[in-house]
Copies of this chain bind each other. A is one copy, B any other.
């Protein structure tokens, strides 16, 4: 029984993420499903939301010596899931998510993600960088990632999104990172990728949603600024929060200082959320998330 803290290339593990109405025997049923099929649990975590009486669980187990063939695992688990009326998904850790990054003109998060990707911190294939500006072309190509630019104007948003969806579909993308992409996505775009789009917003939401959060913070005179990564929903800057962090500021900090300090936060907070998503550690429900870090 070898334990590994994260989904890494080459590991032959399965992960189940599930939630259901809380009642007796859920964890015993899941643990026994794995144990009786000769699986080794390498990580298990559970949580119950007291207010909604919802039960959440993440179990990761090794498939070495597992008595079910890979294609039979989901059908077999479905029987247990039905008993408890679970919402559930099973992932295999050797199947890499395919990722696109959307960005506008602030490239710090893009650089940061690409450096982490290149040095093996993010288990995925980043296959595409999309932008409404040309600025990110050079760095994308330096890192060997395909870049596509489409200027977005008031009249052509749907046309641009149609083109983007085509690119995403061709590349088989199943996870999108908005790394300071300053365009609001349409509801129809967002609906195609439920809990598959992560945004970084440069404030501690719910404060300072919308545009120019650093200016808003500066004018309000707060003594702390923050950054928030969240799943994108159709309402701007409102989806389930995954990660947040803050840093102290003072009257000595100019608006430029806020931006500079904030950008350091953004990189950390966005990459944290991205890694958790890639490692299948996040369950979102309603407006909230459970993160089994």
Q: Residues of A at under 8 Å CB distance from B?
A: 1, 3-5, 22-25, 27-28, 31-32, 34-35, 40-50, 55, 107-108, 111, 115, 119, 121, 142, 204-208, 219-224, 226, 240-246, 248, 250-254, 256-257, 260, 264, 267-268, 286-291, 293
Contact = CB atoms under 8 A, between A and B. Distances in A.
A25 B55 CA distance: 23
A121 to B, nearest CB: 6
Contacts of A248: 245, 248
Contact of A48 (B3, B121, B246): B3
A248 B224 CA distance: 14
Given A220-B206, A224-B244, A289-B221, A50 B3 contact: yes
Contacts of A257: 5
15 contacts: A1-B55, A3-B50, A27-B41, A28-B31, A31-B32, A44-B44, A121-B260, A204-B204, A204-B224, A205-B207, A206-B208, A226-B246, A251-B288, A251-B291, A264-B267
What 8 pairs across the A-B complex have the smallest Cβ distances?
A: A221-B288, A28-B35, A3-B48, A207-B207, A223-B244, A251-B290, A224-B244, A246-B246
Contacts of A5: 50, 252-254, 256-257
A205 B222 contact: yes
A219 B47 CA distance: 16
Contacts of A24: 1, 40
Q: Is the interface of A mostly helix, strand, loop or mixed?
A: mixed
Given A1-B22, A3-B22, A48-B3, A222 B241 contact: yes
A268 B256 CA distance: 16
A281 to B, nearest CB: 11
A205 to B, nearest CB: 7
A138 B207 CA distance: 39
Nearest to A254: B5
Contacts of A226: 204, 224, 246
A241 B32 CA distance: 35
Contacts of A43: 46
A226 to B, nearest CB: 7
A289 B221 CA distance: 7
